[in-house]
Structure 1
Amino acid sequence: MSSLTFTPAHKLAQMIRDRTVSVVEVINAHLHQIAKHNSKLNAVCTLDADNALVRAKLADEALSKKENWGVLHGVPITIKDIFETEGLLTTAGYIPLKDYVPQQDASVVARLRKAGAIILGKTNMAELAGDYQSTNSLFPRVNNPWNLDYTAGGSSGGSAAAVAAGLSSLDLGNDIAGSVRQPAHFCGVYGLKPTDRRISTAGQIPEVPGMPICLRQMITVGCFGRSLEDIRLCFSLIAGADIRRPDVPPIPLDTPSGKSLQNLKIAWSDEWAEVPVASEIGSAMAAIAQTLSQVGVQIEHWFPKKFELSQILNLYGRMAAYINIYAQPIDQYNVRRSLQQIFRTATQGDKELRKMGDFSRLLPELLNPSLKGYFEALTERDRFIAEMDEALEPWDAWLTPVAATSAFTHRNAWSAIDIDGRSYPHAVANGAYTMPFNLSGHPVVVIPIGQTQNGLPIGMQIVGKRWCEMELLAIADKLDRVINAFRNPPGYD
């Protein structure tokens, strides 16, 4: 049974097609894994076992008639609770949505169903996707499968934990500040943040149902898997234009160049000077660079000339303020929660580091937003995107850390984090390495590269050129085969 729960999605799909295993067997194996382990992880917040078994029987009957629903026929998946699922509770961890059952799937969910996937349930998350830990007022906090005393990250912590622990073969997440990449790093799985507007966000919360569509920049839909082939397959199914989101351009997927490992030109950075990473992360990055060099990769320690981190994070904050202000509900509970977040980021952690993650500086624009200010921020963002496009042009990919920290112990929302004896503001420790690529819109894949001394995963960002996800995934696969650091957490087999 456990071998099925840790079999990659693309291999499960092949086994089902070959009739070496039935869909009912596969679904039951995953439901057993959930029953056995979810009570300590809290990764799955809403289970749809009965419907999953009904679909499994129908899937087996279809195959017996030589009918195939698609490339994921009968493969069990989970969906982050931020995506609407027809007939299945969707809460985003937000109390006013505790009874919300959508009448339509989010576009990405519909595409996975059309490919034959069977949804086991919804995965737990940070409330309204607003934290780097996955806690909310509706469900118990998500625990890291590598150590239950540690967070699985956020906002897609349940997604990463479910995939890591074999509760699901694939999961969807969203990413506006690292919500796919940081949990992938914390839980030791693969994660993809695609190019800005490559994938439709129709049916994603926030916005809360009934609110205007404000999140039109920087937010993307991504995915989690235990192999890069699963990530590639999932991405290829959910990417592309959508009639529900006319701003998603009909750009076809790129074709990988087929460059050999030795012909790749790879840049790498072990840290941003303004925000040093934990020593174990820096050492892991340096070791990877050395390993890749030894097998003939053309790899160079590099940093873009026009990359002023404080300016980048300030612009990111302005953009986030403008696109979130009308997407977030204005109720007493949510306002109080937001003010608590602003207070903690303004008062906790090293004074110099606070200057970069202090959201209180955005209060004037939050309280008095202007159309001119929004357009000014958009213009500055366009300039930064162009600068990053130019800087990355000579390189096939750029390797960077995912965060300044590995997974940390559970704590109050937005509390400071100690890294090598220095107190880091929460947003800086978790978002300083991810936010720049939401701002620039470049695609990023996270792969595991090792572990800390206390056995927690370490991931690495691989940044590619915009609209070139298939090339990026092909490069990541070549690097991953050399690094070979993916491991399942102990105790779940």
Structure 2
Amino acid sequence: MSDLVFTPAHQLAQMIRDRVVSAVEVLDAHLVQIAKHNSKLNAICTLDEERARQQAKQADEALAKGEIWGVLHGVPITIKDIFETAGLRTTAGYIPLKDYVPQQDATVVARLRAVGAVILGKTNMAELAGDFQSTNSLFPRVNNPWNLDYTAGGSSGGSAAAVAAGLSPLDIGNDIAGSIRQPAHFCGVYGLKPTDRRISTVGMIPEVPGMPYCLRQMMTVGCFARSLEDIRLCFSLIAGADLRRPDVPPISLDIPSGKTLRELKIAWIDEWTEVPVAVEIRDTIQAIAQKLSQAGAQIERWLPRNFELSKILNLYGRMAAYINIYAQPINRYNLRRSWQQIFRTATQGDKELRKLGDFSRLLPELLNPRLKGYFETLTERDRFIAQIDEALEPWDVWLTPVAATPAFTHRPAWNAIDIEGKSYPHGVANGAYTMPFNLSSHPAVVIPIGQTQNGLPIGLQIIGKRWREMELLAIAQELNRAIGEFKSPLGYYTVSL
């Protein structure tokens, strides 16, 4: 029998329903894996072992009576520590929330519980989801399971590391700048960022409890898994309208077209002109494009007309400034964190790249936010969304890098990243390939496509049409069959007898 901790969630659910294995046995296998590896990864920050055992036992008892709670009956999963979990500490890595125990589940958590999932624990993250590494002042930093000296990414680094290392088969994360896609790329797993407002954000911090609902644009909820089947299942369970969040539209899931690889029209790019990627990432994407062409896909190197990255990132930054300004208390601690980020992105890295990611240009919005300026920014964003919608119309998907580099070694927050003689400002290296699609609202899925010479994963970002996630995931599955499947990092896979 394959090791239970590397069996996909949908297969675990089937095995539990078929009585091949019990929910308690599946939970125990994951608890053993956590006990063996989490102390060096720090991926899970709060383990809810006692309640998980109780729920797994109840799942087995219900099954013995012929009761099935849902499609994830008895399957243990983890939740990023940014989502409220009733009766279970939720901190978002933020010191003022170190003892916060919510009374109610976030909508996505409630929906997964309703179909039988067992909440195993919470995964570690960047403080208030505010970094591309997963460090905070409450818990030890998250380490990459492929090499502990490297970051797992952020802000959902604990989510990606836990799934990659077999601590959890499925995890829920969020993404406003790449917080799902970059860790998936760094840790070699699958990750989905859906269309803006496709999934409810009720019960999700970084709006600190008691603060107004600010992150009404660009913030999305998605998932991590080791298979696209699990991504598709999880997305179908958590998407949809929510009475507690009336701006989530009641749009039904789309029906995939069923196109084969030979019927697809695929656009691809291996780097933006302004932000070169590491050679191994570029070479791997070029090899993938050639492989897909040889397999019969219609594939073409492409970039939309008037795709001006400097303007795109500037608009993204202004939008982010407006929607974040009131999400957290304005106090000395938070101001110091913000000024540190602004200073380092304005002063570190190559000069030309700093111009793209210099957050100091946002100071007018941060120091003097104007309602007119907010509406002007929203209007510009609408134009950009329409521009990308039109540009993508002839294509089924667009393939791009996820980040300019593979995983990098741990470093102070927002410090520059040096790769192959190039010094990248932190925000540019990690966000230049993801932020444009938070701004445009388009869904994106990351799949693993290879490794660097020193064994670090490389992911591929696949962009689809808005509100067409099921089509995107079906196409990603076609590409995945031609490219390869998830590989576990060395040292985490064993065989159960």
Give the TM-score normalised by the residue count of structure 2. 0.99
Partner of 1:389: 389
Partner of 1:71: 71
- CA-CA distance at 1:60 after TM superposition: 0.2
SS of the residue corresponding to residue 72 of structure 1 reads coil
Partner of 2:456: 456
In 2: Cα distance, 1:40 partner to 1:200 partner? 33
1:424-443 to structure 2, matched below 5 A, reads: 424-443=424-443
SS of the residue corresponding to residue 137 of structure 2 reads coil
Partner of 2:293: 293
- CA-CA distance at 1:105 after TM superposition: 0.2
Structure 1 residue 491 and structure 2 residue 459: aligned? no
Structure 1, unmatched stretches of 5+, are none
CA offsets, 1:87-119, max 9 Å, x none?
000000000000000000000000000010001
Q: Which amino acid aligns with 1:238?
A: I
Runs of 4+ in 1 over 2 A off after TM superposition: none
Partner of 2:360: 360
SS of the residue corresponding to residue 133 of structure 1 reads coil
Partner of 1:343: 343
Partner of 1:19: 19
* Counterpart contact for 1:170–1:224, Cα < 8 Å: yes
Structure 1 residue 241 and structure 2 residue 241: aligned? yes
1:101-120 to structure 2, matched below 5 A, reads: 101-120=101-120
Partner of 2:180: 180
1:151-190 to structure 2, matched below 5 A, reads: 151-190=151-190
* Counterpart contact for 1:381–1:440, Cα < 8 Å: yes
In 1: Cα distance, 2:2 partner to 2:51 partner? 22
- CA-CA distance at 1:486 after TM superposition: 2.0
CA offsets, 1:298-329, max 9 Å, x none?
00000100210000000000000000000022
In 1: Cα distance, 2:429 partner to 2:2 partner? 35
CA offsets, 1:61-92, max 9 Å, x none?
00000000000000010000000000000000
Partner of 2:481: 481
Comparing 436-445 with 321-330, greater Cα deviation is found at 321-330
- CA-CA distance at 1:420 after TM superposition: 1.5
Structure 1 residue 122 and structure 2 residue 122: aligned? yes
- CA-CA distance at 1:335 after TM superposition: 0.9
SS of the residue corresponding to residue 3 of structure 2 reads helix
In 2: Cα distance, 1:468 partner to 1:96 partner? 39
In 1: Cα distance, 2:98 partner to 2:331 partner? 16
1:76-475 to structure 2, matched below 5 A, reads: 76-475=76-475
In 2: Cα distance, 1:301 partner to 1:167 partner? 38
In 2: Cα distance, 1:453 partner to 1:389 partner? 37
Q: Which amino acid aligns with 1:227?
A: S
Partner of 1:61: 61
In 1: Cα distance, 2:364 partner to 2:296 partner? 52
* Counterpart contact for 1:306–1:387, Cα < 8 Å: no
* Counterpart contact for 1:2–1:29, Cα < 8 Å: no
SS of the residue corresponding to residue 411 of structure 2 reads coil
* Counterpart contact for 1:450–1:485, Cα < 8 Å: no
SS of the residue corresponding to residue 101 of structure 1 reads coil
Comparing 332-341 with 467-476, greater Cα deviation is found at 332-341
- CA-CA distance at 1:2 after TM superposition: 7.2
Q: Which amino acid aligns with 1:266?
A: I
Number of residue pairs matched? 493
SS of the residue corresponding to residue 192 of structure 1 reads strand
Q: Which amino acid aligns with 1:90?
A: T
SS of the residue corresponding to residue 89 of structure 1 reads coil
In 1: Cα distance, 2:489 partner to 2:111 partner? 30
Q: Which amino acid aligns with 2:188?
A: G
SS of the residue corresponding to residue 449 of structure 2 reads strand
CA offsets, 1:378-403, max 9 Å, x none?
00000000000000000000000000
In 2: Cα distance, 1:244 partner to 1:275 partner? 40
In 1: Cα distance, 2:75 partner to 2:365 partner? 46
Q: Which amino acid aligns with 1:292?
A: L
- CA-CA distance at 1:416 after TM superposition: 0.2
CA offsets, 1:111-157, max 9 Å, x none?
00001000110000000000000000000000000000000000000
Aligned-residue RMSD, C-alpha: 0.7
In 2: Cα distance, 1:438 partner to 1:95 partner? 28
- CA-CA distance at 1:485 after TM superposition: 4.3
SS of the residue corresponding to residue 353 of structure 1 reads helix
SS of the residue corresponding to residue 288 of structure 1 reads helix
Structure 1 residue 31 and structure 2 residue 9: aligned? no
SS of the residue corresponding to residue 202 of structure 2 reads coil
In 1: Cα distance, 2:201 partner to 2:140 partner? 27
- CA-CA distance at 1:364 after TM superposition: 1.1
SS of the residue corresponding to residue 450 of structure 2 reads strand
In 2: Cα distance, 1:382 partner to 1:156 partner? 28
In 1: Cα distance, 2:208 partner to 2:237 partner? 25
- CA-CA distance at 1:419 after TM superposition: 1.9
Q: Which amino acid aligns with 1:377?
A: T
SS of the residue corresponding to residue 163 of structure 1 reads helix
In 1: Cα distance, 2:406 partner to 2:412 partner? 17
SS of the residue corresponding to residue 38 of structure 2 reads helix
Q: Which amino acid aligns with 2:469?
A: E
* Counterpart contact for 1:2–1:33, Cα < 8 Å: no
Identity rate, percent:
82
In 2: Cα distance, 1:236 partner to 1:39 partner? 33
In 2: Cα distance, 1:405 partner to 1:338 partner? 24
